[in-house]
Amino acid sequence: MAIQKFIVGQKVEFLPGSLDGNVPRGTYTVTRVLPEEQGNRNYRVKHVRDGHERVVRESQLGMGQPSLLR
């Protein structure tokens, strides 16, 4: 079992693949860490602008912008 790379509440960037043509690019918030499937960790994420949620593989996500909250 691999350790998760992202945590709930973290901002991430969606890195689309060639089959992800209509999925909005940009910043998402991790809403849930899902179990691994065939060695791939999945996450439920919510787009910060349109509010749509989707499930993505860990390999499709990159680090988001750091929070400016103090």
pLDDT in tens, the chain (70 residues): 567 899 999 999 988 777 777 888 889 999 999 988 888 899 999 999 888 899 999 989 998 765 544 3
CA–CA gap between residue 33 and residue 58 (Å, rounded): 10
What pLDDT score was predicted for residue 19? 77
The structure tokens listed for 42 are 């999945």
Collapse the DSSP code of 59 into the 3-class scheme (helix H, G, I; strand E, B; otherwise coil) and give the result: helix
* Contact yes or no for 30/12 (Cβ under 8 A): yes
The single residue listed with the structure tokens 């996450």 is: 43
Check residue 53 and give its pLDDT: 94
